Amino acid sequence: MKRIQLYLYVLLLLASFGMLSGCVRDDDVTQSVLHPMLFGATQQKEADSESAKSGRANNDYYIDINETFSEGQQIGVFAMHQGAIPWVGHQRHTANFMFNQPLTAGQAEENSHTVDVSYSPLRYWTNETDYFSFYCYYPWNDMTVASPTHGISFDYSSEEAQAKGLKFVVKPKPEDQIDFMVGDVIRDVRLTDIQSTGGQIKLKLHHALAMILINADCSVGEVTIESATLSGVYNTGYCLATKDDNNNNIIQWTTEGETFEYDIKDYIEERTENNTERYMLLIPQSVTEAMVITVSYRVNGGALINKTYNLNNSVNITQWQPGKYHTYNLHLSAE
């Protein structure tokens, strides 16, 4: 028993001086600091966008140019960990670090378009020099269900399918449509490159849909619109945020499927100086001969008049652009 006690005493004595094998002092340790991956989000004001007004979209998911993401709303982000190899050195680009990770917006500062976002569990930078790339969209949509709530889905069954971008389906009723946004592609980010700005990745999102306004005027009397439709418009497409040959961020749309007919009776209104309440959010696409507005109306309570307007006749609008508004003025005659 005494021999055992002596042996334990020697072990404790050696340990107190750091002399045991595998035992080192604090000043001999190189500490590895984990840096959490942090994000901030900004909605970018487009060159000729206008403010939202009530009655023109789903106000729960509309981002006014004078506001930003509401507290509690979510952005979806995809992230690729590239290791030491830059983007151009990879033949395959896959979201191997984050796949549709929801980021939740906090409370924005007054008069600010930028808001901090949070997520759980936190992901960490692997080191200071590994490359990462990011892509994001709004609002976040659960893409694991058969019928996504907001009509946003992603086919990751093959590289060819992924290359198309996010699939988006416009709602049948314009008043239900969300303000779909996509972010600039951010490539080859390293922790060492952004540490001076707090280590936060800045996500910049843009309005991805085109905004269409249809005005009507009649110089010979009071007009009552009985019915109105917009036909020949694609309501399904793929949205790809990418970069052009000059490394500029661009949004590309590819339409798919059959064209759709919208009931737009409530989206035609009398032309005024500042008429923005009835914008429809639709997929950017080429204006074709198939795009037709059909209107049935009465002037001063008289007989029903039917008119057809081909949007392709508007020489000034050949393409609906992402984040831009396009206005059509219908001149309703009395005969």
- HSE-up of 28 (CA within 13 Å, CB side)? 5
> Domain span at residue 123?
38-331
Which DSSP helix (H) or strand (E) runs through 162? helix 159-162
Asked, for residue 27, whether it belongs to a domain, the answer is: no
Asked, for residue 144, whether it belongs to a domain, the answer is: yes
How far is C-alpha 126 from the chain's CA centre? Answer: 27
How far is C-alpha 311 from the chain's CA centre? Answer: 28
Tokens of 98: 């984050």
Asked, for residue 9, whether it belongs to a domain, the answer is: no
Tokens of 171: 């709602």
In angstroms, the CA 310 to CA 324 distance is 20
Asked, for residue 77, whether it belongs to a domain, the answer is: yes
Give the residue, 237 or 49, on which the prediction is more confident.
237
Asked, for residue 31, whether it belongs to a domain, the answer is: no
| Residues 269-322 pLDDT 10s | 655 444 445 678 899 999 999 999 999 999 989 999 999 999 998 768 899 998
Amino acid sitting at position 72: G
Asked, for residue 111, whether it belongs to a domain, the answer is: yes
Place of tokens 């507290």: 71
Q: φ, ψ for residue 174 (rounded to 5)?
A: -55, -30
Which pTM was predicted?
0.81
Q: Work out the angle at residue 85's Cα, subtended by the Cα atoms of residues 83 and 88, and round it to the nearest 5 degrees.
A: 135
Average pLDDT (257-274) is 77
Asked, for residue 48, whether it belongs to a domain, the answer is: yes
Asked, for residue 19, whether it belongs to a domain, the answer is: no
Question: What is the Cα gyration radius of the chain?
Answer: 28
The pLDDT value given to residue 45: 53
Give the residue, 22 or 137, on which the prediction is more confident.
137
In angstroms, the CA 260 to CA 233 distance is 5
Q: Name the domain count of the chain.
A: 1
